[in-house]
Amino acid sequence: MHTFPNRNILWASLAVDEAVRQGVRAAVLVPGSRSTPLIWAWSQQNRVPVFTPWDERSAGYFALGLALGLNGPVAVVTTSGTAVANLYPAVLEAERSQVPLLLMTGDRPLELYDSGANQTVDQVKIFGDRVRWFAQVPLPEAHPSGRALRSLRTLMARAVARARGWDGPPGPVHLNFPFRKPLEPIPQPEDLSPDDLQRLRKEIEGRGEAPWTQMLAFPPTFPPEEARPWADILAAHPRGVIICGPRCPGGAFPRKVVALARALGYPLLADPLSGLRFGPWVKGGGIFGGYPLALEAGWRPPTPPQVVLRFGAAPVGNGLLRALAEWDEALHLAVDPYGTWHDPEHRLDALFRVHPEDWATQVLQALTQVDLQRDASWLQSWREMEKQVQETVARPEDVEGQALPRIVHALPEGSILVVGNSLPVRHLEELAFPQSKFLQVWANRGTSGIDGVLSTAVGMAAARPGRPMVVVLGDHSFLYDVNILALVRSLKLLLTIVVLHNDGGGIFYRLPIRDFDPPFIPHVRHPHGLSFRGIAEMFGLAYHEVPVPHLDEALRQAMNASRPALLVAPTDAERHEDVRRSWLRSLSP
């Protein structure tokens, strides 16, 4: 029969047991006191891996990367007070990016609220509506009823289900666990008598290996009879555009949507984070990556599109957003499995709450039964645009942005590429064109922060050991997140970090503030003049300074080595922006 030294350990152990039964794939524990029962419970189970980063902010992003890599929910355990607040940036990103996290925060009991007790803040609904669900877990009881323990198990079942997308998009869920001392596994004679343990045996042991409650949800399907009228509409409008934004589904979706685009004769504009720009479905053409620069330069097709069909999250490029605002006479359609609103211009004529793969499959099937109108000149105009952009940026220029196409070219098939926000993801969007090599590409574009990029990448590396892994980020973003490198060392993770070192916030050269100095140099671009060699030595990384033209070869060598590596590419962001503006002038009609 199971035994427990006190009520806190019983409470935490059952919560952790049910979380694992419900499909939590890993746990990230940050050292602390009030969360001791939860830390103890997670450390005692041996069914899922447990990780311990140094601080809560990095831990949140690390857990986000783990959840992405494991394709399932990950628990994050913190102590009380500011520790909880430090999860907020990762919570915002997970909420917007629809990544399932189970936040299990230790807390003081209610009688210590508003009393001046140390490290006590109001943690009830501290994340507001940025989490999919919040629950205040009842205080552990010395002699709980069977109903109390059953409710604890079903609470965990509901929490994990909501994190996974039970009644909406996946995302973070917050469970707040108050505990009274003793927090450690110290026996308490007044707690949990042998009669209690015998009486509660069923609730403690659970239902064999199964969850206490199986939470079963089925995705909505798109009925064939509903697909036919929309197939008729698309078939009658030969000038259309398919936009695949960030975070499109994987699986069969890329091939289905590419087949749909080719059947209709529509260009498919593939965001680098969509999962469509890099893969075997690129063979055969029709997938475009030159549109960000072309549309920003003012290029437009000879006539506006009649249909704009969108999958994935909203695009972020200024050129495409401006074009979408101008195409106000087009029929704007969007497909999202949860009905999430991704339309900052508010131009949608229809939003389909259905899995995109199912939608594309049914419409593609319906198109075989209708007469398709095709306009060969429409697709040809997009091909000419793509060719012009590629020729323009191929002119030999040793500028920062060329780092991303070199890195993409050097990566082996099946690699994971994590790209930082600000300039790196924009360089990828503008200069890395579609190719048939499959790459998994991720960036924290839910809220587009630069503060947790490296921790997210380390989380993905920990989830998928053995997969080739590269993270590319700017120098400011790297400095935010240096302490996660301690976990890289302790876990012996093999990944390659590429820092585009432009000595400050190079992204701001794209803004009008560049012409106003001061405050531009000291307070906006904010150069720091730091070298990262000492950081590499501290954490046991191989260190190489590499000019951009040699990044591809240096990356190949680093990825074939037996230790993690830090490649630093010194760059000049101002010069890159000047060259980029010359490209835009060349592409301008």
Question: Order of strands across the sheet with 469-474?
Answer: 440-442, 416-419, 469-474, 496-501, 565-570, 542-545
* 160, 22 contact by CB (below 8 A): yes
Distance (Å, rounded) from C-alpha 163 to C-alpha 134?
11
Residue range 576-587: average pLDDT?
94
- Checking if the pLDDT of 279 tops 60, the result is yes
The two tokens of residue 426 are 């924009």
pLDDT of residue 51: 97
- Checking if the pLDDT of 195 tops 60, the result is yes
pLDDT of residue 252: 96
- At 314, the pLDDT band (50, 70, 90 cuts) reads confident
Nearest to 444, CA basis, from 436, 453, 435 = 453
In this predicted structure, which of 154-158, 290-294, 370-374, 434-438 has the lowest mean pLDDT? 370-374
This prediction's pTM: 0.94
Tell me the CATH architecture of domain 224-393. Answer: 3-Layer(aba) Sandwich (3.40)
Q: Fold for domain 400-575? A: Rossmann fold (3.40.50)
The chain-wide mean pLDDT, for the chain, equals 94
pLDDT tens-place string over residues 485-541: 999 999 999 999 999 999 988 888 888 888 888 898 888 888 999 999 999 999 999
> In terms of C-beta density within 10 A (0-12 exposed, 13-18 middle, 19 or more buried), how is residue 240 classed?
buried
Residue range 546-571: average pLDDT?
95
CATH superfamily label, 7-205: Thiamin diphosphate (ThDP)-binding fold, Pyr/PP domains (3.40.50.970)
pLDDT of residue 368: 93
Sorted by where each begins, the domain ranges of the chain are 7-205, 224-393, 400-575
pLDDT of residue 320: 95
pLDDT of residue 405: 95
Neighbours of 218 (CB within 10 A): 5
Residue 102's SS3 state is strand
User: CA end-to-end span of the chain, whole Å?
Assistant: 79
pLDDT of residue 365: 96
DSSP 281: G
The CA distances from residue 214 to 147, 284, 483, in Å, are 18, 44, 39
* Residue carrying structure tokens 């053409």: 285
For residue 97, give the H/E element and its range. helix 88-97
pLDDT of residue 1: 57
- Checking if the pLDDT of 269 tops 60, the result is yes
* 437, 502 contact by CB (below 8 A): no
Residues contacting 207, CB < 8 A, separation 6+: none
pLDDT tens-place string over residues 400-458: 999 999 999 999 999 999 999 989 999 999 999 999 999 999 999 988 888 899 999 99
